[in-house]
Amino acid sequence: MTLDAPIVVAVDGSDQARHALAWAVAAAVREGRQLKVVTVVEAVSDYSGMVLTQDLIDDIYGYAKDLINEGLTTATELAPGIDVTGEVLTGKPALRLREASSRAHLLVVGSRGRGGVKGLLLGSVSADVSAHADCPVVVVPGAFPTTGPVVVGVDGSPAAREAATHAFAAAQELGTSVVAVTTYGSFSGKHFFGTEDRHGDSEATLRRFREEAAETQSVQLAGLREDYPGVAVDSDIATVRPAERIVDRADDAQLIVIGSRGRGGFRGLLLGSNSRAVLQVAPCPVMVVHAD
């Protein structure tokens, strides 16, 4: 990816994709980048069991071109003078978007597209590219807020470090603050991390874990506070599950930034359970960042 790589946004005619396009337009204007609008048509060989006449193939591609033209028109209406291009891609949507991500600064997608099962908040394509893209992916669930902080999950992992870096940069661009969330397990009376313990010992253990969590967050954010002195930081240290706390703190946020997986992630599991949980129920756009 080059320094002048574009922001790529996928459209498919769905409401979620239209909101994703609007978010991508605003991001391209903020960052002074080119916007590239893409849509993906399944290859003829992928239409199993269907007889595709040339007329039908022409209709399919004609509709795809209409989607691109609609996207270009919308982008220029939202931001006159924006540098925007469009392209119809052919193949498996998730695979082609992964390929596009290798040449993108950001990849922006809706939470689910056309054909998504009602109630399924994270579609298969958005889940796939969130896990495997070569650049950060922003998943837009619908109409998005334009005020509020940027919420980021911090756990000491390389992915969280990358997420924090992007969160501070985004907060500076948006002229807002950062809410840094770090959690350290659960505590419920007699049980701490599933172990029976006396109340006094649990209190001491809980205090030690809290201190370690606060230290982890402080160390991970130290350099970023110096690099972005104008970005105020609200440090949130809590004992609830990470995804739950991040979503709670994002109630009035305009963006969540999370790593693709954090501490304890299994090798090969590119989108961890907490990341997926946040994506499923987030009230605002979510940026998924991968560690190098």
- What does pLDDT average to in each consecutive run of 10 residues of the chain (292 residues)? 86 93 98 96 66 79 94 98 96 92 96 49 76 94 95 90 95 97 63 40 81 91 94 93 91 94 42 77 93 72
| CA neighbours closer than 13 Å in the CB half-sphere of residue 62 | 6
The pLDDT value recorded for residue 127 is 85
The first and second tokens of residue 96, run together, are 């082609």
Q: Catalogue all structural domains in the chain, each as residue range(s) with its CATH number.
A: 7-140 (3.40.50.620), 150-289 (3.40.50.12370)
The pLDDT value recorded for residue 48 is 57
The pLDDT value recorded for residue 181 is 94
The pLDDT value recorded for residue 265 is 41
The pLDDT value recorded for residue 51 is 65
| pTM listed for this prediction | 0.86
Euclidean distance between CA atoms 13 and 21, whole angstroms: 11
The count of other CB atoms within 10 Å of the CB of residue 199 is 9
The pLDDT value recorded for residue 2 is 61
The pLDDT value recorded for residue 292 is 67
Measure Cα distances from 139 to 52, 66, 81, 196, 204 in Å: 33, 23, 25, 41, 40
